Amino acid sequence: MNIRLYNARILTMERNRAVFHGEIWIKNDKICYIVDNDNKEDENDKVVVKPNWELEIDCKNNLLMPGFKNAHTHSAMTFLRSFADDLPLQRWLNEMVFPMEEKLTEEDIYELTKLAILEYLSSGITSIFDMYLKPDVTARACMDMGMRCVLTSGLNDFTSSPEEMEEQYIKWNSKNPLISYQMGFHAEYTCSKDLLYKVSRLAHRYKAPVYTHLAETVKEVEECKKKYGMTPAVFLDTMGVFDFGGGCFHCVHMTAEDIEVFRRRRLYAITNPASNLKLASGIAPIAEMDKKKIAVAIGTDGPASNNSLDMFKEMYLVSVLSKVREGDASSLDAVRALRMATVHGAKAMHLNSADVLARGKYADLIMIDMNRPNMHPLNNIPKNLVYSGNNSNVLMTIVNGRVLYRNGEYFVGESAESIYHRCDAIAKRILQS
């Protein structure tokens, strides 16, 4: 679709570029033109060919910016929202989550993922990094609704296999432009040493990055040290798992040696502050990692452990928790948190064409309502987004050049109400059986 977005404030998230007034043109799935009205000598102003518009939107001085990148989630866990609550992580997993997940069918996962996508869209999230039981099913739900998704394997001793992960890696990195795949496994504590060696060999075969949960709890770290005499990060590094980069989810209980592994291997630390608070896992050393030039991205984690899929909340928590942890109100600037939720998330997910708003980049963008009291006065728009914004400020979400959410209405091929109805029935069947 050819779309013109005009009369807008624009925050491209390019380095050292302030908010400006201008317009953006979208041709099919890409941004083909972006201009500052006060600087129309922009180089792309001279060569662009004006498309025939299928949709023109007056943005009314609202803000266009890159969509948020949810760099860690388990979408289909929507059925456990507000069910498996108020328990420590290991009891939460073993007593509440794993037994219920055994009852899921593929069709359940499909419908439950669609419910999560509705929430992503209304929260301004344009791409997700999803780890769950049936990647093919997650991919089908995302394709059917137009959502950009990076899949990663939740391989462990009980589900999936290295052979299946290799098959998925080949399949989803060549099949559909909305879907890609990164190698991964659930966690050190759910994988045998032999299985982890197989993951390492696959990573070397394809020169591929690897992703996993890591250092989420004290118990996890201490048990790894008892087994192998090393923390999880150091242990996995000695096995060559991270020789081609990748990233880790949570990264709460990090030693200086762990942080050095991340720096040397250029790993992404993907923080999940709301989930870590709810499960009493702790507060990650984000400011320390940021100072060591370790790229930090942000994820919501799943809707069973958060329980919302709201990146505004996560950005706020990343910044303010860092201040409390360090005892320093200047330890993590709000603009850094905003960058983590957009640019760093895209880089962590290897979505290098969806990081900023610029000509030739994917048309994955959102419009923020600036005509609400929480956005005024306009002293500093990026900081307003982090410290006072919420998902009610999201007016529109465009993914891959398609308007999927606008003014409270979804354009995903079916009504939100029909998805709610089916998912409520799934949750009732599973949780009350």
Model confidence band, residue 44 (pLDDT cutoffs 50, 70, 90): low
Average pLDDT of span 26-32: 97
Mean pLDDT for all residues in the chain: 96
Model confidence band, residue 402 (pLDDT cutoffs 50, 70, 90): very high
pLDDT of 242 > 70? The answer is yes
Average pLDDT of span 97-108: 95
Average pLDDT of span 238-244: 98
Average pLDDT of span 182-209: 98
Q: How far apart are CA 39 and CA 42, in angstroms?
A: 6
Q: Give Cβ neighbours of residue 29 (< 8 Å, ≥ 6 apart).
A: 177, 362, 363, 400, 401
**Domain locations in the chain?**
2-66+363-410, 68-348
Q: What is the pLDDT of residue 42?
A: 55
Q: What is the pLDDT of residue 118?
A: 98
pLDDT of 329 > 70? The answer is yes
pLDDT digit string (tens) for 341-352? Answer: 999 999 999 999
Distance between terminal CA atoms of the chain? 46
Q: What is the pLDDT of residue 212?
A: 98
SS3 content of the chain, % helix, strand, coil (to 5): 40, 20, 35
Give the largest CA-CA distance in the chain: 65
**CATH topology assigned to domain 68-348:** TIM Barrel (3.20.20)
Q: What is the pLDDT of residue 47?
A: 58
pLDDT of 272 > 60? The answer is yes
Model confidence band, residue 46 (pLDDT cutoffs 50, 70, 90): low
pLDDT of 269 > 90? The answer is yes
pLDDT of 43 > 60? The answer is no
pLDDT digit string (tens) for 115-171? Answer: 999 999 999 999 999 999 999 999 999 999 999 999 999 999 999 999 999 999 999
User: HSE on the CB side for 406, CA within 13 Å?
Assistant: 11
Q: What is the pLDDT of residue 345?
A: 98
Q: What is the pLDDT of residue 433?
A: 79
Q: Which helix (H) or strand (E) holds 131?
A: strand 125-131
Q: What is the pLDDT of residue 230?
A: 98
pTM above 0.85, yes or no: yes
Higher-scoring residue by pLDDT: 332, 84: 332
Which of 40-49, 85-94, 170-179 is predicted with the least confidence, judged by mean pLDDT? Answer: 40-49
Q: Is 80 helix (H, G, I), strand (E, B) or coil?
A: helix
Q: Mind giving me the DSSP string for 344-355?
A: IHHHHTT-TTSS
pLDDT of 408 > 60? The answer is yes
pLDDT of 233 > 80? The answer is yes
CATH superfamily of the domain spanning 2-66+363-410? Urease, subunit C, domain 1 (2.30.40.10)
Q: What is the pLDDT of residue 420?
A: 98
